[in-house]
Structure 1
Amino acid sequence: MNFSSIFKSISNFQFPYTLEENSIHKTELWTVFHGIRKADSVPITAFKANKNSGTDELITNCLQKAKVMKIPGLCPVFEIYDSDPNNTYIITERVSPFNWDQLTTYQRNLQALQLGIAQLLDTLKILEEFIIGTISPESIYVNEKGQWLIFGLELLVKRSDVNSHIFSNMSKHYYTIQGFTTYSNDYKTVDALNMYHLIKHFLSGKVPKDWNTAMNMLSKGSITCSVFLQKIVNSQTWLNNRLIRLDKDLKEIHIKDAEGKFIIMSTFESLYFESRQTFSNMSPGFIVGAIIPELISIVNWLQTPQSITNKNSKILHFLAILLELTDEHQFYPKEFKELTIQMFKLPDRQIRFLLLIYLPKLLEPLGKNDITNRVFPQYLQGLSDSDVTLRLKTLKTVPVIVPSISERQLNNELLRYLAKTQVDPDVEVRTWTILIMTKVASTLSASGSRASILGTAFTKSLKDPDIKPRLAALYGLEKSIDLLDVSTIAGKILTVIAPAVLDKDPLVRSKAKVLFNKYLEKLESEAASVATDTKDESQDIDFDNYGTNDNELSEQFMTSLRLNSPSLEEVNTLKKSSGAFQNDDWDSNNAINEDIQWGDNDAWGEETAFENNNIPVLNINNLQGKKISIDDSWNNDILEEQEPITHTTKSTAGKVKPKMRTIKTTSSRTLTLDIEDNENINDGWGDEW
């Protein structure tokens, strides 16, 4: 139930807090809710009073004391709303009930438990003039800095004002309502006995030996809590507990200047590296609320010009602790995000190397947008750094950062740097380059030139003088087989692998041969599933004897020519009927040449002719020969586009202007010889023929 809605209806008063629907804790007297202040979103805790006739007097005393008791160690009160008896609230800073379910875990770090006990004893020392009377497991709360606090002043009374009879009755009534065990109703011993049992509950029989004497006195009520504290502060257990000393410094750090804060955090640094387990299994909030914010503050200060000399080494140490603690507690405040981005800009190689170690854990808290725009440009510089260790470490983290960068950064900027590291002087860098290419191959743009990029990269590495890059290239080809289509494999990849089969190293040869067969099997598998496009089955050809049976065709052709040739009698008849041709001297021929009119275009396929209408035509139709069959040839498609050529011979006995020869094409497959019969035309060969 959201109790803010109830407040809105009370006297038209707007409740300035938003509470969560579900309570975090509940007793017979109080129901506890987490919430935030509407004005500035500050986290708060609201204690709603469960008022009734049996609890009214106890709650009223608690409200009165909470208004005036501003004591360190008590839950700090922001406001009290008690105008409506049915809706009474105590608003404090964000606190949570001690998690008793985790007590076994906390007991693994006894120093941390002793610190919490010391914090409670410090509070009781301040309140030594008062009787609290309500110290119990239910009254212990922890704030966001991990400090143990006390809530519940239902029986609080000043020692000088106490009425033993009234206090005894109220104490009995309180423990009856709460259902707690009563150890004492005597105001003189109640706090001592309650604290004794609380300490035993925390330590579960692991009370330090040098505390035993004081504990015995406390169990009898013969000393107060403040006296008990005085006795144990000089024990070796107390003096050796560096958390207690650190906690006292942290409580005062807000009043220290920058150098004072630096000294305190240097103490923490020394303690952390000396004994890491000291800060494990602590109360929630100590690391997150007290340590991490101060680490961020001190690292930011060390980047200023006013800080100490040799500050980079201190930044490195503090940053290492900060990165480890934020990851362990999964706590990344806004200030941490900005600080980390600034750290990537520092030129110090050790700091950049440290950031690379934690890069996989920083991607989520930093966010993809900041990785792309603010971190990646600085990150790329590590691939070209002069220090080989940093180059190699940067290279190894490429697969980590690839999912957080843009496609342009991957396929353009990053690949350019990888092309440089592939020819790096260091063999490990060259080897890791091809391994990284293999790991990011699936993220490269498939629509682009992925196959070409991979083929080029693997080819270069297969030519590397060292065996490691060559083996890495074969490994990459094996892992990338599913990323390459069969066309790319046939056209590029097999030609990449084939030279490795002749490698001088037997291991490379062996692996290359196996890989070649693996790719070949993929091609054969694909070929088996390819549908044939030919209607007729293909027949094998014996090319050794291909074309050797041309003699038969030649004989057929010559026989055809003989059958189509005119007989001698026909030729003599032709001579008698046509007469002899008249020939002019050479000048006539020159005149003919000068009068030939060539067209502007001498290309094939256009019709031209000799222009002379006075030339007699030789036409011997009666000597028409037989048609000669010509088989189709390899260039039949070209021939089909041309018309058959018709030859017409015209001659003259005098000075003539001959027409150009006309060439016509058809799709006919026969060649016909047409000769015009004209007795007045000389055939030009003479009577001897």
Structure 2
Amino acid sequence: MDYLRTLGSAAVSSLVQKSGLTLPFSLGSKVTSFENRTIWSLYDGTKREDGSSVSVFEFEANTPAKKNLLPLAKNAVRKLRTVRHPDVLKFMEVVETDTTIHIMTEHVRPLGPAINEWQTKGALEREAWLVWGLHRISVSLAFLNESAASTHGNVRVDSIFISSSGEWKLGGFDVLSNPKDDAAVLYNLGSMLPDASTYSSPEVKKGGFSALKELPPAAADAYGLGLLIHFAFNANQGLPTTAQSPHPPPTAASRGSIPTMIFPAYKKLLNPNPKARLSPAHFLELGMSQTAGEGSGFFASNRLVKVCAGLDGFNVASEGEKASLLKTLKESASSFPTEFTSYRVLPALISALDFGGASAATILPLVLQFGKNMPPEDYPNVILTHLVKLYTSPDRGTRMALLDHLPEYADKLDKKTVVDKIWPNLQTGFTDTVALIREATVKSIILLSDKFNERIMNNDLLRHLARMQADPEASIRTNTCILIGRLGPSLGYNTKRKVLVPAFARALKDPFVHARVAGLMAFMATIECFDVEEMATKVIPNIAFTMIDKEKLVRDQAFKAMELFMKKVEEHAATMPETAAPETELIPGGMLPLNASSNTLVNNAAGAAGALAGWAISSIGKKLAAGDLQTTMASAAGAAIDRPTSAPVPMGVNGALSGSLLAAAVPPPLTPTFSSPSGVPTRSLTTASSATSRSKGMQLGATKVPSNISSIPDWAEEAAAEVETQGASPWGNDDLMDVNADEDDWSAFETAPVPSVQDSGLGFGTIGSISIADPWTAPAPVKAHSSSEWGSPQATLAPKPSRTSSSRVGVSSPLASPRPSSIARSPTPSDGGKGEAASAAPAHSTAGMSKEDKAAEMARRKEERRLRIAALKEQKKHAGESKV
């Protein structure tokens, strides 16, 4: 059947196109329930211009009998085109040929099948819908009879249609006529309508349609309206007995399902006397009146009628009237027809939203509630377009309503809309002066985060969240921490490393107990974001102090978090080798592998002290052979060892430990040696010319150094950069961001962080005089990073020595192991008092200095180093002359 219908539609379209006409629509399937009930065939169609759904009424004069009805079809076209009313079928286009007429109207469906569908609904719900529909038809008939002074002449179920919004529309204008019109067809051709005698009034049955010309225009339509009421409420019954001669008045037994409030007026509509018959206009007036006594007010009390009336005048209504209407909508929303709420109520509410105002916050939830029944393909255009516009509204009530109901429409938003239209307005909520708006904004982020781009996620959003962690409201700080924890896995790799630990650590210091708990739970929730090294060096240390928190709730959560992270670290540690050095190698510094007894775990403090002492003694005792203990540290001085002869002899255990540490810390290019006269360890850079030199005493870490030693400054620079990177906190003082610092704009979140040079990590000790042997040249200075806080991109830092004497024990380096720049040196005799004076002058710390002060301090140190090198060169010159 569908194939035949499609074939028929194609044939019609082909026929029309052959006639040279272009159809403004494409025909779809035929509405079979409407077939053979009127002179028209009804098709579903599509408008070519915009693809919207339409209905097409088709008339074909392909038989002699049909040709006789052509005047009725043309009258329908003429009247439908000229009569415009909200309750009349909306005319759009017409295509006419000699034998066919196609009228394109708004998309509708016949009333008859719709009434049958409503039979399954509840009695009260069905009654309310029917009364509302009858109200719309009464309005349209009153307009035709009173304003247009015309008679419809064809009021029946088949002349009424249901629009997309569920409203009843009056059609069937085949015989619509004005008594004064010479071309009126009702009075001459009215009898040609299908089933004309069945729906005719008593006077027409008696004197024909020509009798209507002498009667009021509303006479025939009032009788037709009475029959419509009967068929609407009693769809399965035939004509009422009053429609048959001798037309007795309706009895209570014949009322059927007609409401008792309407029944008195219904009887008056079916009065056999046309002059005493109740007109549609009076019927409408009686239904809208609440003071006319019994049998009145049946329209005024209908909630659908009230809703439509309220929506039509919503923009000009008072605030009280608006509030009353919105309350009715909210209470009765579930009982309204779906199509009514989607296409009648919803557009009116959205139109009211565009005007804004105080009622916008109340309207928005209703819009979302009624929008749930909207087809998915229509939702973006009907709902989302208007919601997105509301984000530009400065009204806090509207913004709050948008955020509160965001879960209902967030999944329907696309990424481009969120990034371009919602986020620019949404982010203003972070800085709102009202705490409720700020908190609602924070809570809304998680719903939209999957639609943010990288810039928003890893930069703009985190700036706002950093401020939110310092918000005066404890709940906002807590929710911010929770949000960061939920966003953690979706952040960029560099952003995770830079943000998560400082953010959660800040929460652990919050005075609000639940914020601290949230920080611990956030650590646990993002455990997969940390590698094992970060867990051991950053996460666990930051969690540790919360295990003695004043609040038990925090302590309990801290122990759970610690257990979780410790388990991860232990699992990783179990996979690591026992030592990183090969078994055949000596431990750096000359220490041999520990004995078996020292490999056991220590369970108490006393055992730990004993174990440490045992390690030191055993390492020293096993360091040298018995013969070596009886010899001097070096057998001769001179050309065999390229070193100064003024170094002091090492003193006992301290000297051995010092040498061990030096050997462990100094990289291969550096060769510390001991010299016999003074015993102070110095550095010797061996070259190719001195490669044959060998020491007769012990040489710690003595290796053959390549002739190219340019890697020394590179290594030093790398070490300095590493120290500076380790010493610098990316967020500053374990804080997310200094909200008062304009330069702290988090732009580095999108790229790897650039380490900055900090003076506290360079490991300067007391500056002493430097003794350099003839073959040596001054060590290449360490180049400072171009981003140095001292503001001198070309500044260079020479390695600074520090004493190892007991008087300088308090000077420590922040490095994990001593750096080459921290090797102790003693003044040489040739320095006179200069070396002592230099060593007595303490190294000034640059911490807390301004950029100008730091630059001055570095210039002073550079000049001081130049003078020392010059003095050493002079000493070298005199030593050579004395030998000659």
Q: TM class by shorter-chain length? A: 0.5 to 0.7
Distance 2:505 2:174 in 1: 82
Q: Secondary structure at the match of 1:141?
A: strand
Once the two structures are superposed, the pairs formed by residues 403-552 of structure 1 within 5 Å of their partners are 403-445=450-492, 447-528=493-574, 541-543=596-598, 544=611, 545-546=614-615, 547-548=617-618
Report how far residue 517 of structure 1 moved. 1.2
Report if the CA contact (8 A) 1:434-1:457 is conserved. yes
Is 1:28–2:35 an aligned residue pair? yes
Corresponding position: 1:122 with 2:139: yes
RMSD: 4.7
In 2, distance between residues paired with 1:317 and 1:559?
95
CA offset at residue 476 of structure 1?
A: 1.3
Consecutive unaligned residues of structure 2, counting only runs of 5 or more, are: 1-5, 206-222, 238-254, 290-295, 585-592, 599-610, 636-683, 708-772, 777-884
CA 1:140–1:495 in 2, change beyond 3 Å: closer, same or farther?
Answer: farther
CA distance in 2, matches of 1:434, 1:55: 82
Tell me, yes or no, if the aligned pair for 2:27 and 2:45 is still in contact at 8 Å: yes
- Shift of residue 454 of structure 1? 1.3
Match of 1:611 in 2: none
With structure 2 as the length reference, what TM-score do the two structures score?
0.54
Confirm whether residue 313 of structure 1 aligns to residue 358 of structure 2.
Answer: yes
Aligned equivalent of 2:108, options 84, 88, 95: 95
Within the alignment, does 1:140 sit opposite 2:160 as a pair?
Answer: yes
Relative to structure 1, the CA distance from residue 51 to residue 273 in structure 2 (aligned partners, 3 Å threshold; closer, same or farther) is same
Tell me, yes or no, if structure 1 residue 210 matches structure 2 residue 280. Answer: no
TM-score by length of 1: 0.67
User: Does structure 2 retain, via aligned residues, the 8 Å contact 1:48–1:88?
Assistant: yes
Counting aligned pairs with the same residue, the percent is 21
Give secondary structure in 1 for the equivalent of 2:540: helix
Q: Distance in 1 between matches of 2:230 and 2:467?
A: 70
Instruction: Quote the residue 2:791 is aligned against.
Output: none
Distance 2:359 2:558 in 1: 51
Q: Does 2:18 align with 1:10?
A: yes
* Amino acid of the structure 1 residue aligned with 2:94: I
1:77 is matched with which residue: 80, 91, 98? 91
1:74 Cα deviation after fit: 3.6
| Aligned 1:167-316 pairs, distance under 5 A | 171-172=194-195, 192-201=226-235, 207-215=258-266, 226=280, 229=284, 232-234=287-289, 235-241=296-302, 243-244=304-305, 247=308, 261-263=315-317, 267-274=321-328, 276-283=330-337, 286-298=340-352, 300=354, 312-316=357-361
Secondary structure of the corresponding residue to residue 397 of structure 1: helix
SS in 2 for 1:423: coil
**CA pair 52-455 structure 1, distance change in 2 beyond 3 A:** same
Q: 2:699 matched to 1:639? A: no
**One-letter identity of the residue aligned with 1:431:** T
Secondary structure, counterpart of 2:703 in structure 1: helix
Match of 2:70 among 60, 82, 91: 60
1:54-75, CA deviations, whole angstroms, 9 ceiling, x for partnerless residues?
9726863551331232444442
Number of aligned residue pairs: give it.
Answer: 560
Aligned pair in 2 of structure 1 residues 113, 487: CA closer, same or farther (>3 Å)?
A: farther
1:113 Cα offset (Å): 3.5
Task: Name the CA distance, whole Å, in 2 between partners of 1:243 and 1:549.
Answer: 98
Measured in 2, the distance between the counterparts of 1:394 and 1:461 equals: 19
SS of residue paired to 1:91? strand
| CA–CA distance in structure 1, aligned partners of residues 570 and 229 of structure 2 | 84
The structure with the largest alpha-carbon Rg is 1
Q: Distance in 2 between matches of 1:501 and 1:560?
A: 55
Query: Any idea what the Cα deviations from partners look like across 1:285-305, whole Å, max 9, x if unmatched?
Result: 655555554545555556xxx
Alignment partners' CA distance in 2, 1:559 and 1:293: 101
Distance 2:236 2:326 in 1: 24
Distance 1:266 1:47, change over 3 A: farther
Instruction: Give the whole-Å Cα distance in 2 for the aligned partners of 1:89 and 1:326.
Output: 34
Separation in 1, partners of 2:475, 2:619: 65
Asked if 1:344 is matched to 2:344, the reply is no
The secondary structure found in structure 2 opposite 1:209 is coil
CA 1:67 to 1:342, structure 2 compared with 1: closer, same or farther past 3 Å? closer
Counterparts in 2 of 1:148 and 1:662: CA distance versus 1, 3 Å = closer
Q: Give the Å deviation of 1:460.
A: 0.9
Q: What displacement does 1:322 show?
A: 4.6
Of residues 474-483 and 141-150 in structure 1, the stretch that sits farther from structure 2 once superposed is: 141-150
Aligned-partner residue type, residue 259 of structure 2 = P
* Alpha-carbon distance in structure 2 between the residues aligned to 1:395 and 1:529: 42
Structure 1 gaps, min length 5: 176-181, 254-259, 303-311, 566-601, 609-626, 644-659, 664-689
Q: Note the C-alpha offset of 1:471.
A: 0.9
C-alpha distance in 2 between matches for 1:97 and 1:521: 72
Residue identity opposite 1:116 in structure 2: G
Q: Identify the structure with bigger relative contact order (alpha carbons < 8 Å, sequence gap 6+).
A: 1
Q: How far off its partner does 1:399 sit? A: 0.6
CA deviations 1:43-64 (Å, max 9, x no partner) are 5321234666597268635513
